[in-house]
Amino acid sequence: MNHETHSEILEDIMFLIYPLILVFGVYIILTGPRNPGGGFQGGAILVAVFMSRYLVFPISMESLNFLKKLDKIMLIILIITAVVYLFLGLHQTSDLFKVIYNTLMNVLIGIKVGSGLTVVFYTFIDIEGGQEN
Amino acid sequence: MIEKIFFVILIVSAIMAVQTPKMRRAVVYLAVFSALSAFVYILMGAPDAALAEAVIGSTISTIIYLAALQKYKVFMIYLLDEKQDTHHREHISHRKDPILTTIEDFCTKRELEPLIVYTVDELDFIKEKPGWDLIVTKVKNRYVLHGREQNYHAMALKDEWEKEKKKKVSFVIEKEHE
């Protein structure tokens, strides 16, 4: 995309609604255990922020390697958390642990989905004709 | 009752997405389809699925489709010259039709990659081939450009030409009957 199609209206509106979408995504993640929503949906909303950033500024992302690492680290932490929770028998102790566990899992899934889908999207943009730029 | 009305609208938007000739419109109809189906999920008591459908269907996949359409970049141009002698190909590269410079300028402006094929085949033979974007024929110092209605780059080229009102060029738009 060239600079002629770069729209100032789009840019200003995106600047206004970025924080709102971010807060909405975090809200969906954190209230996941009780209300409709959860880690996956909230993470997807966060991805929508990064994707609409591409529509406004069509450049590839610099911190893609960091997001790749974050994706893998989150997968490992997710498995470790679930295993620790089950094998230490925390689910039998009290309701407080259940709430903490649910919220923590939702946050972890949200971060993992957000970073993973962003990596998928920006990789898709960078690849051209079967070869990476 | 209200569910049935929305089911009908869903089917209508799905049919419109399939039937529309332009790709970008089809993407927009698909986004409408996703938003409507999210609403139907809410009516049927599944707010969780509705949230996922609304976010993924009408935001993420729409943006991915639009980015994919932007990457649809190679612009295939066939240049027909019936007087051309096929046995002497050397002189083809020496001269260049002035219309090609204009088309190449248009392509660079839209970040397309022009792929120009010089040919002596019949016009109808090329039209049956898949994958052409523009066919340029030359009839007595007059150029005739053939484009397809589905191809929005060709339509934009036609619009640009009609704005400048060049007399030597006329445009033929093919409509697909399938």
| B98 and B161 in a common domain | yes
| B118 and B158 in a common domain | yes
Q: Are A106 and A65 a contacting pair, CB within 8 Å?
A: no
pLDDT value, residue A63: 79
Q: Which domain holds residue A73?
A: 3-132
Cβ of A37 within 8 Å of Cβ of B70? The answer is no
pLDDT value, residue A75: 92
CA distance B169 to B144: 6
| B157 and B81 in a common domain | yes
pLDDT value, residue B87: 57
| B86 and B66 in a common domain | no
Chain A residues in contact with B69 by the CB 8 A cut-off are none
Q: Which residue of B has its CA nearest to A38?
A: B48
Q: Are B156 and B166 a contacting pair, CB within 8 Å?
A: no
- Number of structural domains (chain B) is 2
pLDDT value, residue A61: 66
Could you write out the DSSP letters of every residue in B40-76? HHHHTT-HHHHHHHHHIIIIIHHHHHHHHHHT--EEE
Ranges of chain B with pLDDT below 70: 71-73, 82-97, 111, 113, 165-168, 175-178
Element (H, E) at A12: helix A8-30
Closest partner CB to B51 (pick from A37, A52, A54) = A37
Can you give the length of chain B in residues?
A: 178
Give the end of a domain, one of B70, B98, B122: B70
Ranges of chain A with pLDDT below 70: 1-6, 58-61, 127-133
Closest partner CB to B51 (pick from A36, A51, A121) = A36
Q: Which domain holds residue B29?
A: 2-70
In single-letter form, the type of residue at position B38 comes to A
Q: Identify the residue among B39, B43, B60, B66 best suited for mutation to test binding to A, counting A beta carbons within 10 A and taking the highest.
A: B60
Strand partners, B144: B137, B170
| B142 and B90 in a common domain | yes
pLDDT value, residue A3: 47
**Tokens 């997968």 belong to residue:** A75
The CATH number for B170's domain is 3.40.190
| B89 and B155 in a common domain | yes
pLDDT value, residue A77: 93
pLDDT value, residue B102: 79
Give the end of a domain, one of B37, B70, B103: B70
| B93 and B47 in a common domain | no
| B82 and B65 in a common domain | no
